[in-house]
A and B are shown apart, each in its own frame.
Chain A
Amino acid sequence: MIEKKNDNSIPDRPLECSECKKAIAVRYVEIVGSVTTQTSMCADCPELQRRLYGANPKELVSNSLSDAELVCGNCGTTLENVRRGHSLGCAECYTVFSDALIQELYSLNRLPSKIITEKKSGPIHIGRTPGERLAVNLSSKLLALNESLKETLKREDYEQAALLRDQINALTHEEKSHKPELKEQTDEKN
């Protein structure tokens, strides 16, 4: 009654949401006459929306219209493809589906929560840009060790703490003696 003709005696193969990489949340069983169709869908599957609200012809029409409007002109990827978690086809897709992608990333928990509240319209990427030289310093290593040291001291595990302290000393010493960029050359000399 919704969109599939059930005059076929072979039941439809279940639509697996493994296609959109999301966990299956709903098993939708539809019984029309003697034919039963089963569909497995994830919680925010467009297919689920259609099955639940698809009976309302207005909504179905407006949905399919807006879906039909958004297609990447360069590679033919559609908004529906994006919503179903299919791979994107080209760089252009990121411009065409910009807002939908942010929504998708959010629903998949693939955006840090502070980003979502702070800046939805501006650039999200804050990492390196192409061709940018980097000087990763040792601070990250130090930071990690220092934090662990605090943890061990709090627990009064002095044996572990001594080990960590030695590692921290070795690193700070290294940092003072030569800059990381020059590390390779100095290593040779040593």
Chain B
Amino acid sequence: MRKIDSNHPLLCDANPWRNNSNSIWLASTLSLNRNLEKFNFPNKLPEEKRKHILDMITPKLQASDQLKNPQVLLAHETLPIEKEFLVEHFLSSQGFHHSSKGDAFVIDETGEFLATINLRDHLTLQRIDIQEELEDTWEKLVKVEMQLKDVSYAFNPKFGFLSSDPTMSGTGLIVHIFLHLPALIYTDNLIEAVGKYKDESIELTGLQGDPNELVGDIVVFHNVYTLGLTEETILTSLRTLAAKMIIEEKTIRSRLQQNQGNDVIEIKDKVSRAFGVLMHSYQIEAIEALQAISLLKLGLDLKWIEGTTPENLNKLLFNIRRAHLLCHYSQDKISQDELLHKRAEYIHQSLKGTELLV
């Protein structure tokens, strides 16, 4: 097990975000929570036993042919900023800061896989998918789970796979789908669209876990129940809802593109202002930037903007967050005030050649 340095190429500027051209369905994440039989859950497990679990699981993960060149990061050797980076990269809804000795992260070269060991549960396997391949991604996770030979998972016929958090028991499967829905949001149609397809088994939230603050106009749909449903039902209902939301979004986008409706002017104005903010600010907060980049993405899709690509804007969406930005400027020590300026500078560079057509 070797320690990474803060400028590790595996972490900085890593796939799958580098080449993501998705316009609406940005990404999905799937995670499986598992615990080992005969051991208390991590919160009631002394450090030496947690280490024992670590020693048991990590070699098996490293030997898995499902992973490309896996690497183990011990939590106590991982800097806070690196943990923040992992949270950002894997769109994790759970913070990693409290992880300590006896805990670890396993990542691989694809940048799509993360295993956390001894955090909330003994093992959480997670994958990012940017191809709308929920079923394949789920299959890949199960393959890794099954490859950990001689490991018996804590399981109870009534509650299924057991987790230290009872709301995660059963399948232990949590699926998040990240949809970029600016047209629905700016034309005030989101609530109506969500209401129309209401599914009690799905909740929506924002990037930072607050449903009232949809940062970057990204709406995150996730399953409410892990217990009492089959994995297939969970995947199907999420996929069905996502497909419907995408159609709603596309319908409004095509209306906007044809210059129909009273709100076109207002939205053109919003996109233009966002363009101005991104191109001409001296310093900028992450949330403001995410909001503006979102509008730029919409503008590009509606052909109101040219000179940049969906890949470039998606990459920007990821790279302006704190840990990613610091990674980019890793050589220099950057203070909080400077960070805001560096962010603006980074955005100017990324958007060079971009032009507003409306």
Chain A residues within CB distance 8 Å of chain B: 74-77, 82, 87-91, 94-95, 98, 101, 104-105, 108-113, 115, 122-131, 133-134, 136-138, 140-141, 143-145, 147-148, 151-152, 155, 157, 159-160
- Cα A149 to Cα B227 with chains together (Å): 30
The residue from A112, A125, A137, A160 contacting B250, defined by CB atoms under 8 A apart: A160
CB <8 Å contact, B240 and A112: no
Could you say which residues of chain B place their CB within 8 Å of the CB of A143? 236, 239-240
Q: Is B158 an interface residue (CB 8 A)?
A: yes
Could you say which residues of chain A place their CB within 8 Å of the CB of B251? 155, 157, 160
The residue from B138, B161, B240 contacting A130, defined by CB atoms under 8 A apart: B161
The residue from A76, A110, A127, A148 contacting B243, defined by CB atoms under 8 A apart: A148
Could you say which residues of chain A place their CB within 8 Å of the CB of B224? 109-110
> Is chain A's interface secondary structure helix, strand, loop, or mixed overall?
loop
Interface string of B220-242 (1 = CB under 8 A from A): 00001111111110011001101
Could you say which residues of chain A place their CB within 8 Å of the CB of B200? 112-113
Interface string of B153-171 (1 = CB under 8 A from A): 1111111111111110111
CB <8 Å contact, B230 and A126: yes
Could you say which residues of chain A place their CB within 8 Å of the CB of B156? 91, 94-95, 125
**Interface residues on chain B, number (Cβ under 8 Å):** 57
Could you say which residues of chain B place their CB within 8 Å of the CB of A87? 41, 43, 120, 164-165
Also in contact, A112 and B236, with CB within 8 A (given A87-B165, A88-B166, A125-B157): no
Could you say which residues of chain B place their CB within 8 Å of the CB of A133? 146
The residue from A94, A128, A131, A137 contacting B231, defined by CB atoms under 8 A apart: A128
Chain B residues within CB distance 8 Å of chain A: 35, 37, 39-41, 43-44, 120, 134-135, 138-139, 142, 146, 152-167, 169-171, 173, 200-201, 224-232, 235-236, 239-240, 242-244, 246-247, 250-251, 254
- Cα A77 to Cα B165 with chains together (Å): 13
| Given A101-B166, A112-B200, A144-B242: 14 more A-B contacts, CB < 8 Å | A75-B41, A87-B41, A98-B158, A98-B159, A108-B167, A124-B227, A125-B156, A136-B138, A138-B135, A143-B239, A147-B240, A151-B247, A160-B250, A160-B251
Could you say which residues of chain A place their CB within 8 Å of the CB of B142? 128, 134
CB <8 Å contact, A136 and B232: yes
CB <8 Å contact, B166 and A104: yes
- Cα A141 to Cα B254 with chains together (Å): 25
Could you say which residues of chain B place their CB within 8 Å of the CB of A105? 166-167, 227
